Copies of this chain bind each other. A is one copy, B any other.
Amino acid sequence: MSTDVVSPAKLASELREHWSPRVIAEVDDAYVKVAKVEGSLAWHTHEGEDEFFYVLQGTLRIEMDERTVELHAGDAFVVPRGVRHNPVAERECLVMLIERKSTQHTGSTVTDKTRSIAEQLRPL
């Protein structure tokens, strides 16, 4: 985390691993994270936590049981707590996320893409 001015898009573009969010800022009880994503993450649910997505570059599809939304660069969307969802990027996409500090990025689902909060807090 930085006490300086940062460019979320630049930090996201420099990530080497897909679907491995990294914390770039702490705002009270929330973390702001960036991620580089491509392909499909995993269907999962955050039972008690909302998840805010902001697309920095590219296009992100968020599949939910009831509907699917598509976010282009500059678009934002909140997946409300309890809503099962699966983020998908047909091509590489850069995103900024806001989540409560306790939020696991794949919810209660654990896959080979799951990264611990400690891993997400590694310095960039």
Contacts and interface: CB of A to CB of B under 8 A. Distances in A.
A22 to B, nearest CB: 13
Contacts of A71: 5
Contacts of A32: 52, 76, 98
A24 interface: yes
Interface in A14-63: 24-30, 32, 49-52, 54, 56
Residue with the highest number of chain B CB atoms closer than 10 Å, among A6, A24, A32, A76: A76
Contacts of A75: 5-7
A78 B8 contact: no
A69 interface: yes
Interface residues of A, number: 36
A78 B30 CA distance: 12
Contact of A78 (B26, B51, B78, B80): B26
A99 interface: yes
A12 to B, nearest CB: 11
A7 B76 contact: yes
A3 B54 contact: no
